[in-house]
Amino acid sequence: MQFTIEFFRIRASDGAHAMLARISQDVPDLEAAKVRAISLFETLDMPQLPDGLRILNSAGIEVFAWHPGDR
């Protein structure tokens, strides 16, 4: 299945999201996409540290959102 992982920062003053990176992944299912996304959150070289991530399915619908405090 094809998923898109988006990593973002959240502006404290108004909650606006700024995307830092978008990566497409071909993985067997949503659970595998979650594992991959969280792993990339901790290892991917981005210009800033992200505040969270979300996973979109092939139709562009958000199917999962995560922040480091959600563990």
Question: pLDDT tens for residues 32-63?
Answer: 999 999 999 989 888 889 999 999 999 999 99
Rounded Cα distance between 7 and 66, Å, is 10
**24 against 13, higher pLDDT:** 24
Which candidate, 43, 37, 39, places its Cα nearest to that of 23? 37
Q: What is the pLDDT, as a whole number, of residue 69?
A: 81
d(CA 3, CA 68): 20
Give the per-residue pLDDT at 11.
Answer: 85
d(Cα 34, Cα 65) in Å, to the nearest integer?
Answer: 9
The whole-angstrom separation of Cα 6 and Cα 37 is: 9
Name the band, by pLDDT with cuts 50, 70 and 90, for residue 71.
Answer: low
Q: Could you read off the pLDDT of 25-34 as tens digits, one per residue?
A: 999 999 999 9
DSSP state of 29: S
pLDDT over 80 at 66, yes or no: yes
